[in-house]
Structure 1
Amino acid sequence: MRILTVSHFYEGHGGGIERVAGHLCRQFTQLGVQAVWAASDADQPPERDVEAVPLACVDPIEKVIGLPMPLARVRAIRALAREMHRSNAVVVHDALYMTSILALLMSKAFRKRVVLIQHIAGIPFSSRILRSVMALANIVITRPMLRAADAVVFISDTVRHDLVGTPARIPFQLLFNGVDGAIFHPASGPLPVPEAPAAISILLGTRRILFVGRYVEKKGLSVLRALAAFRQDLAFLMVGSGPIHPGKWGLANVHDLGVQSPQALADLYRGADFLLLPSVGEGFPLVIQEAMACGLPVVCGEPSNRADPGAAKWLRGVAIDLTDPDGSARRCADAIDSLALTSEERAAMARYALAQYDWRATALGVLTLAGGGVAKP
């Protein structure tokens, strides 16, 4: 069986959706399925395990407003059509991208079964115009695509509720993203005194606040900047990349570590005091699940803390308003100061994450919806 996965970018872009697409493609291969991945050629495609089909695109919108929205060129449309013809089924990641729209339309034209995995709902941008555009796009594009897909997967119960209501107006499956337990897990034995990353000076005893994600508006970078400015007693370790540059904020307690390998990221989870993700318009970001698996307390923007009802008791949600970064920063500070998980609670959270979030199980669920016969788990 040949499964075509379509996303807006490859993993090298650094976003959560493309990381999920990469994990699932590799799982498809391990399960004996021929995995093909089509995405924008803006980043380096995977070099092994997955057959890559880079699509010629331009991405002017992200450079202006930080919203990734690659636009396909004519030769990209032709390449996608060729792969659609050769594939047995199609897995599309998120509805609001041109590559996703093209893939769903082509799947209908070629009579291929399509599984749509929806990661996000609306994004409350600070700009009223962008908020209105996003709301309209979900009405005009996202909801019709959800109805048109042969099967729909949500990776967050809150995204499901926002887009199809409760009770849901269409059939769906709730499949959480997985976690690589070989990399992301608690430290064995007592936690050592954490060392500062290379070339960074952090006073012993200073609490370390870890951020992992794209450096874009929706991830709450303005909130992080405001928080770092008035909480000099905290050290902020920033992992990611994007059009916003935390290293240029002029704040001595903000350390831009750039993109990190999974192994290095796991060490940062184990050495930090909190993961702080003051983002908006999210489903269930993969970094939250990875932090949980490492036993790291999480403060995140609402409603991501409720994406998995079974995990909600360990996650502290904060109301984030991008039009009021100072007020949002104060609420984040209150959450950081008041959240105190015991060692037993952190261990229970890690056990839950490692048992509940499994890439193989998620991939099997997607393949079942795609109609593929695969090996037993």
Structure 2
Amino acid sequence: MRIVHVVTLVSDDGAYGGPTSVATGQLEECAARGHEVTLVSLWRGRSRAPERVGSVPLRTRPARALIPGRVIGLMHPLLVRDLWRCMGRADVVHIHAGRDLVSLTALAVAALRRKKFFTQTHGMVESRHGAVARLFDRVYVPLLRRAQGCLVLTERERRAVTEVVGPEGPPLLTLPNGVRPEHAGTAVRHRRRDREVIFLARLHPRKRPEAFVEMAALVHRKTPDARFTLYGPDEGSLPAVRRIIADHGMKGVVSYAGALDYAAAVRAQARASVYVLPSVDEPFPMTVMEALSVGTPVVCTDTCGIADELARRGAAVVTDGSPREMADAVCGLLSDENRCEALAKAGHRAVEEIFSIHAVTDRLEEIYRRPCHIGCTE
């Protein structure tokens, strides 16, 4: 098959996070199975856009902010031409769709081209009641309804998408995220000398980097040799993070190391003793999957969409998200190598049995090969 994926943004700082990682992982596995693949996206970075992301050919244009805002208003006029040409040859189009101009344009081009297309919303499509959102949705929602199917991660996302598209929407098909098995091979080798605890996410209020710093201050009292690093692009929370670090006198103990590209992020996770994700209402965090795949113990909150499954398998420490409970979890892991080993092995099993990109792509191929609805040509 000729498969085209569209994602809003590829960048050298990983600012668009999960959707970009998911798209490239799916396409790399599809390419390994003999399919012809292309990723179409905007690019933002200090250098020229790469020709490939991993092994995936990339068609891209520089991101321009046509509407004030972070990602929603990014676009480039020539991306419309790229989408038209790439989709013209495609057997299947897969749009990683948020509420933004790139997603809206991709949906419109796929509909005009009368292509078989699927959407994957990554928890980004929920009911919005503001005037701008209602105006945007007058065009956006009818296009979402024309998809052959919408891929959702969890029951919570299923309910949210249903609320937006209504009963006339496309079939909602469950598809988990997956990680590449070559990363999972290091999972059982948890032998780290550096006692580093990391945060790896956007510095955004929903990700709660401030709670990570509060947790670090509590851990430091019991484990003074531990060090804490925050990685990720700033989306408004960095001033508060720096203020809390100063208030607790934690300079030199807690540091902000900026954003990382995907390969550097995986290396940072592999080096870490513990990965902490304090964010709330994460439907399916890829950073947790990637930490499991490299054998790094994970501490997350009970609102994470996969928290119940990870807790049932003993693959992560699930907390209520308070700095005190996260600190207790981290202290317990830093003082118990056997517990870390057990978590690493359980995480490895979870990756192999549920979250492997091989299993995910088996399901994705099955979805792509479904008969096309009336009004769609392949």
Q: Give the TM-score band, short-chain normalised.
A: 0.7 to 0.9
The residue aligned with 1:202 is none
1:102-130 Cα deviation digits (max 9, x unpaired): 11122111100111112114799xxxxx9
1:1-377 to 2 correspondences below 5 Å: 1-10=1-10, 12-14=12-14, 15-43=17-45, 44-47=49-52, 49-59=55-65, 67-121=70-124, 146-164=144-162, 171-186=171-186, 191-195=190-194, 208-229=196-217, 231-233=219-221, 234-243=226-235, 245=238, 250=246, 251-259=251-259, 265-266=265-266, 268-304=268-304, 306-307=305-306, 310-313=309-312, 314=314, 315-318=316-319, 328-336=322-330, 341=339, 343-371=341-369
Structure 1 runs not aligned, ≥5 long: 125-129, 196-206, 321-327
Distance in 1 between residues matched to 2:259 and 2:370, nearest whole Å: 35
Contact map agreement 2:201 2:207 (CA 8 A) in 1: yes
Describe the SS at the equivalent of 1:232: helix
Paired amino acid for 1:287: T
Q: Does the C-alpha gap of structure 1 residues 256 and 354 become closer, same or farther in structure 2, counting only changes over 3 Å?
A: farther
Distance in 2 between residues matched to 1:161 and 1:285, nearest whole Å: 18
Describe the SS at the equivalent of 2:156: helix
Q: CA deviation at 1:150?
A: 0.8
Count of aligned residue pairs for this structure pair? 343
Paired amino acid for 1:30: A
Distance in 1 between residues matched to 2:297 and 2:135, nearest whole Å: 35
Q: Does the C-alpha gap of structure 1 residues 58 and 90 become closer, same or farther in structure 2, counting only changes over 3 Å?
A: same
Distance in 2 between residues matched to 1:318 and 1:59, nearest whole Å: 38
Q: Does the C-alpha gap of structure 1 residues 95 and 243 become closer, same or farther in structure 2, counting only changes over 3 Å?
A: closer
Q: Does the C-alpha gap of structure 1 residues 94 and 174 become closer, same or farther in structure 2, counting only changes over 3 Å?
A: same
Contact map agreement 1:158 1:303 (CA 8 A) in 2: no
Contact map agreement 1:96 1:137 (CA 8 A) in 2: no
Q: CA deviation at 1:242?
A: 3.6
Paired amino acid for 2:161: L
Describe the SS at the equivalent of 1:149: coil
Distance in 1 between residues matched to 2:61 and 2:104, nearest whole Å: 14
Paired amino acid for 2:76: R
The percent of aligned pairs where both chains have the same amino acid is 22
Q: Does the C-alpha gap of structure 1 residues 106 and 61 become closer, same or farther in structure 2, counting only changes over 3 Å?
A: closer
Distance in 2 between residues matched to 1:185 and 1:133, nearest whole Å: 49
Q: CA deviation at 1:54?
A: 1.0
The residue aligned with 2:374 is none
Q: Does the C-alpha gap of structure 1 residues 24 and 342 become closer, same or farther in structure 2, counting only changes over 3 Å?
A: closer
Contact map agreement 1:152 1:171 (CA 8 A) in 2: yes
Q: Does the C-alpha gap of structure 1 residues 268 and 12 become closer, same or farther in structure 2, counting only changes over 3 Å?
A: closer
Contact map agreement 1:12 1:45 (CA 8 A) in 2: no
Describe the SS at the equivalent of 1:8: strand
Describe the SS at the equivalent of 2:198: strand
Q: CA deviation at 1:280?
A: 3.5
Contact map agreement 2:126 2:160 (CA 8 A) in 1: no
Distance in 2 between residues matched to 1:45 and 1:216, nearest whole Å: 27
Q: Does the C-alpha gap of structure 1 residues 113 and 308 become closer, same or farther in structure 2, counting only changes over 3 Å?
A: farther
Distance in 2 between residues matched to 1:230 and 1:122, nearest whole Å: 36
Distance in 1 between residues matched to 2:21 and 2:353, nearest whole Å: 20
The residue aligned with 2:376 is none
Contact map agreement 2:37 2:56 (CA 8 A) in 1: yes
Q: CA deviation at 1:230?
A: 5.3
Distance in 2 between residues matched to 1:215 and 1:178, nearest whole Å: 24
Q: Does the C-alpha gap of structure 1 residues 278 and 138 become closer, same or farther in structure 2, counting only changes over 3 Å?
A: farther
Q: CA deviation at 1:73?
A: 3.2
Contact map agreement 1:59 1:70 (CA 8 A) in 2: yes
Contact map agreement 1:121 1:282 (CA 8 A) in 2: no
The residue aligned with 1:200 is none
1:22-55 Cα deviation digits (max 9, x unpaired): 1122222222222111111324244373332213
1:28-85 Cα deviation digits (max 9, x unpaired): 22222221111113242443733322134313778x6xx4334223322233222222
Q: CA deviation at 1:237?
A: 2.3
Q: Does the C-alpha gap of structure 1 residues 319 and 162 become closer, same or farther in structure 2, counting only changes over 3 Å?
A: farther
